[in-house]
Amino acid sequence: MPGMVISGDKGLSPAARSQLEKEIANLRAQREALAPQPGEQERTGDAADQADVIDRAEAAARLDRQIADLAAKMEHGGYGNSQLPDGTVVSLRFPDGDEETFQVVTVPGEDADAITSDSPLGLALVGAKAGDEITYRTPRGDAKATVVKLTPPK
């Protein structure tokens, strides 16, 4: 987004970078726990043992992909031209009249008032401005909201 000042390194806020680092460390610990223990490779057990080895290998591969995805976010930044930058604040009015304010984040955390930049709602906000009505997909079908205010990070 030309001319926009982005806080943090590679478009990530310090909080997002810290959250990514914690997530990667947690995933690496889970991955390490799946590694074969000494002597485990040598036993030739029954079909159940072989199925367990396959399940662990699949889980390890899944964790490896998640680690690679998060590492890529750390290296290349948290958003592209098709996502709002980390730290954007958006106020929305919903059809029932309720107004809520959210912060756009790259990495989901414990903040209940956050929207991830790659979620259906986060993606629907790309290019929106105050007064625009947006439509986004939810598990219950399409939903609408009106953008009251959208403030990029400082």
Q: Residue ranges of the domains in the chain?
A: 14-76, 88-151
The model's pTM: 0.52
Residue 58 pLDDT level (bands cut at 50, 70, 90): confident
The pLDDT tens digits of the residues spanning 93-152 come to 999 999 999 998 877 776 778 898 888 998 899 889 999 999 999 999 999 999 999 998
- Beta carbons within 8 Å of 12's beta carbon, 6+ residues apart: 20, 73, 74, 77, 78, 86, 106
| Beta bridge partner(s), residue 151 | 89
Pick the CATH number of 88-151 from 3.90.1150.10, 1.10.357.10, 3.10.50.30, 1.10.10.60: 3.10.50.30
DSSP assignment letter at 85 = P
Residue 131, phi then psi, degrees to nearest 5: 95, -20
CA–CA dist 52, 93 (Å, integer)? 50
pLDDT reported for residue 83: 77
